[in-house]
Amino acid sequence: FVLHERLNSTNTYCMQLIQQADYVRPQVVMAEWQTAGRGRRGRQWVSPVIAQNLLFSLGLRLQADTRCLTGLSLVVGLAVLATLRYFGLTQAGLKWPNDVYTNNRKISGILLELTGNPTDICHLVIGIGINLNMMPHTQSSIEQPWTSLRYETGQRIDRTALAICLMQNLHHYLAQQAQMGFQGLRHEWEQHHLWQGQRCILSTPNQEISGVALGVNDEGSLRLLVNGQEQSFCAGELSLRLD
């Protein structure tokens, strides 16, 4: 894998790398800091240069006949969660579709980007930001409650060890998904769903929908009980918060 001191975005760099060289093997890119770190829907991923966080992208070249994209972002969430739990964050859980939270604070974000031909080869980049050593006094420009592994566990985190653990977990969960589909991991995902049974608000581009979170279906879509009726919502542009 490649470690950079500074990049605009590990996802952008990783995508260029795998497209240009058309690597058959997976490529991992990490950076000390990013000048234009991105989250979903054009939002910013914040990680100051002194924070010693994990900024990680895994690039994969996927064949049309073997790839399985259903529920992928939720599967990546499971891999990140397993990694954080291994490093002592035993209370952590998932917020649909793929954010990891502990004590009501966000500790990790995931951004998947896909390019290419749906019927042929495509390039997938799995971007993962994890707050490792960032402490509350380091950064105040994040507009929602956040925390870091060091803050939660009181221990300084070895990034290399964590990155290796993350790669192992990604390998494990992506292989499981390729074998069984997301439906084989659905139950495990729901076991870690922090908002299961709670009243939530889902923001879509046109409206806000209030309902009780019932879990996810075999495609990884969120199941909400809205006015006594179950409805499903696929990830896309949606955002969820507690009511």
- Binding to ligand ATP (CB under 6 A): which residues in 118-137? 129, 131
Q: Is 66 annotated as a binding residue?
A: no
43 in a labelled binding site = no
User: Per the structure block, which two tokens stand in for 233?
Assistant: 């919502």
- Taking CB under 6 A as the rule, which mask of x and - marks residues 46-65 in contact with ligand ATP? xx------------------
Q: Is residue 45 near ligand ATP by the rule CB under 6 A? A: yes
| Rounded CA separation 221/54 (Å) | 28
Q: Is residue 93 a contact residue for ligand ATP (CB under 6 A)?
A: no
Residue 39 assigned ligand-binding role: yes
Q: Which two tokens stand for residue 5?
A: 């001191």
Helix (H) or strand (E) holding 32: strand 27-34
Cβ at position 137, least distance to ligand ATP in Å = 14
The answer to whether 67 and 127 have CB atoms below 8 angstroms apart is no
Out of 146, 173, 182, 189, name the contact with ligand ATP by CB under 6 A: 146
CB atoms within 10 A of CB 156: 11
Helices (H), the chain: 10-21, 72-86, 149-153, 159-180, 186-191
Q: Which two tokens stand for residue 28?
A: 């991992």
Q: Are the C-beta atoms of 182 and 220 separated by less than 8 Å?
A: yes
Binding of residue 39 to ligand ATP (CB under 6 A): yes
Q: Taking contact as CB under 6 A, which single stretch among the options 60-68, 120-128, 143-151, 208-216 is the one that binds ligand ATP? A: 143-151
Instruction: State the nearest-atom distance from the C-beta of 145 to ligand ATP, in Å.
Output: 8
Span from 60-68, 118-126, 142-150, 208-216 in contact with ligand ATP (CB under 6 A): 142-150
Instruction: Kindly tell me which of 140 and 144 has the beta carbon lying closer to ligand ATP.
Output: 144
95 flagged as catalytic: no
**Is 40 marked within a binding site?**
yes
Residue number of the CB atom closest to ligand ATP: 39
Number of chain residues interacting with ligand ATP (CB under 6 A): 19
Q: 199 labelled as ligand-binding? A: no
Q: CA-CA distance, 204 to 240, in Å (whole number)?
A: 9
Report the residue number, 11 or 177, with the smaller CB distance to ligand ATP.
Answer: 11
Instruction: Choose among 33, 144, 54: nearest CA to 95.
Output: 144
Cβ proximity of 10 and 29 under 8 Å: yes
C-beta neighbour count of 225 within 10 angstroms: 14
Residues annotated catalytic, as ranges: 40, 106, 241
List of residues contacting ligand ATP (CB under 6 A): 39-41, 43-47, 99, 106, 109, 111, 129, 131, 142-144, 146, 239
